[in-house]
Amino acid sequence: MRVGVFGGTFDPVHWVHLIIAEHCREQAGLDQVWFIPAARPPHKQDRQLAPFAHRLEMLQLALAGNPAFRVDDLERARPGPSYTADTLKELHRRDPADEFFLIMGSDCLPDLPNWHEPARVVESATLLLVTRPGWSVWSAEQLRKAIGLPEDKALRLQVVQIPLLDLSSSDLRQRVHVGRSIRYLLPRSVECYIEAHHLYR
């Protein structure tokens, strides 16, 4: 299968996450998109996340009814930080016949050279770069130079165009914290879950 790998904290999942996944599925001809919530994201060690079980449940609610989307909880039991290079290695070990496409926003690309083993990341998956408001998209040569990838190593990159919607999970957490509405910014089932479990208050 051609599988999109969509990692993140999803704290909480919202409509832009789902729009990104659907446009990647369609434009890259993916069979499925796997949402992989990070248990311990290395770049957010200083922030308190909603418990993994809550973030997983919100994803399952949001993806219900779409057979092309699924939640994968492989990060739950893995020790240490949730490094993308290690996640991709585990996916290849577990599903060696599948072809993987890593979904990334263009806003994350400038930080990719600082990731854990970035060359191993780009060798393990085609990068699906999603356009984000206010961020340009690097060329394959810019990325190759930034991470020091030799010319003889493959680098596969595809740009995915989506509507330029500016919404983030941090915005939603802040709105809940101060008592503002989050209606129509995420699936109603996720909104009800947040309310029922008193998250982000």
Query: Contact at 8 Å (CB) between 159 and 140?
Result: no
pLDDT (tens place) for every residue of the chain, 201 residues total:
999 999 999 999 999 999 999 999 999 999 999 999 998 877 666 678 999 999 999 999 999 999 999 999 999 988 788 899 999 999 999 999 999 999 999 988 899 999 999 999 999 999 999 988 888 888 889 999 999 999 888 899 999 999 878 899 999 999 999 999 999 999 999 999 999 999 999
Find, among 111, 113, 147, 148, the residue nearest to 132 by Cα. Answer: 111
User: In the prediction, which pLDDT does 46 show?
Assistant: 66
User: In the prediction, which pLDDT does 2 show?
Assistant: 98
- The answer to whether the peptide bond before residue 133 is cis (omega within 30 degrees of 0) is no
Tell me the domains of the chain and their CATH numbers.
2-166 (3.40.50.620)
User: In the prediction, which pLDDT does 132 show?
Assistant: 84
